[in-house]
């Protein structure tokens, strides 16, 4: 796989329909805070991915926080390796890692050297749905980005974006919710899915009632 050339600068012209006005990317200061707060506030935010094959946009509907301390499920608990180095870098970068032959996307939070991150677990596709369908070889919109590795496939996110600066509005970035902010009562909270330790920590956040959230139904309401 060859690396992508820089193909866009913020703001992106002509790529978005008129009813989806572009917003500036979330700044580094958004990510430079407590990881749990960031995880909760990322629900409802938008994710933009501009690659050679075009643009894809979605709404984040599910996240999980991974803590710097006291969290045995966090990849950083046993120190820095080449794989998790992005978690130890500045906030506002992507941390993309592989698991079970697939990729997962995190946003690094907290000050540099405090290894915490938010896993993006599910996204509601908004734009570029046909593109996602081709990448996933799947029709059902609900399943295109419902799951951390599914969304990476739909948005063409892999190892090349590990360490990517999300605050610059190029290739991969997040923006505020242009609609009414998600009210507190629509944000659900539960233990994290799939982890083999630290079950007791309720660090998963999701848009309550959304069909685009992963997990069994009882973890979507």
Enumerate binding residues for DNA (CB under 7 A). 64, 66, 73-76, 78-79, 81-84, 87, 95, 97-102, 104, 106, 117, 119, 136, 138, 143, 147-151, 159, 192-196, 214, 216
In the bound state with DNA, the residue whose beta carbon lies nearer, of 50 and 117, is: 117
The count of residues in the chain is 221
Please report how close the Cβ of residue 41 comes to DNA at its closest, in angstroms: 17
Q: Shortest gap between Cβ of 98 and DNA (angstroms)? A: 4
Cα 63 from chain centre: 7
Q: How far is the CB of 16 from DNA (least distance, A)?
A: 26
Closest to DNA by CB, 22 vs 191, is: 191
* Residue 100 vs 185, nearer CB to DNA: 100
Q: How far is the CB of 20 from DNA (least distance, A)?
A: 25
- Cβ proximity to DNA: between 6 and 79 the closer is 79
Decide: 214 and 207 in contact? Cβ < 8 Å: no
Q: What is the CA radius of gyration of the chain?
A: 16
- φ, ψ for residue 143, nearest 5 deg: -95, 0
CA distances to 38, 141, 193 from 22, rounded to whole Å, are: 22, 23, 32
Q: Are 136 and 124 in contact (CB under 8 A)?
A: no
Closer CB to DNA, 124 or 149, in the complex: 149
Q: Which residues contact 50 (CB under 8 A, 6 or more apart)?
A: 7, 8, 12, 15, 170, 171, 172
Least separation in angstroms between CB 142 and DNA: 11
């Amino acid at each position: 796989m060859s690396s992508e050339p820089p193909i866009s600068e913020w703001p992106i012209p002509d790529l978005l329909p008129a009813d989806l006005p572009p917003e500036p990317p979330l700044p580094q200061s958004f990510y430079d805070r407590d990881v749990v707060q960031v995880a909760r506030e990322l629900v409802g935010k938008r994710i933009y991915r501009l690659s050679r094959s075009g643009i894809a946009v979605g709404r984040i509907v599910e996240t999980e926080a991974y803590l710097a301390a006291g969290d045995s499920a966090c990849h950083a608990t046993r120190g820095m390796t080449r794989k998790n180095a992005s978690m130890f870098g500045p906030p506002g970068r992507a941390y993309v890692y592989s698991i079970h032959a697939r990729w997962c996307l995190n946003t690094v939070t907290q000050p540099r050297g405090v290894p915490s991150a938010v896993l993006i677990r599910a996204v509601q596709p908004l734009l570029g749905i046909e593109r996602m369908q081709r990448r996933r070889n799947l029709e059902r919109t609900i399943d295109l980005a419902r799951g951390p590795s599914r969304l990476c496939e739909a948005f063409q996110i892999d190892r090349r974006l590990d360490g990517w600066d999300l605050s610059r509005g190029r290739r991969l970035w997040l923006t505020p919710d242009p609609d009414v902010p998600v009210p507190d009562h629509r944000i659900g909270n539960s233990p994290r899915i799939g982890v083999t330790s630290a079950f007791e920590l309720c660090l998963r956040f999701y848009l309550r009632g959304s069909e685009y959230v992963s997990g069994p139904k009882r973890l979507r309401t």
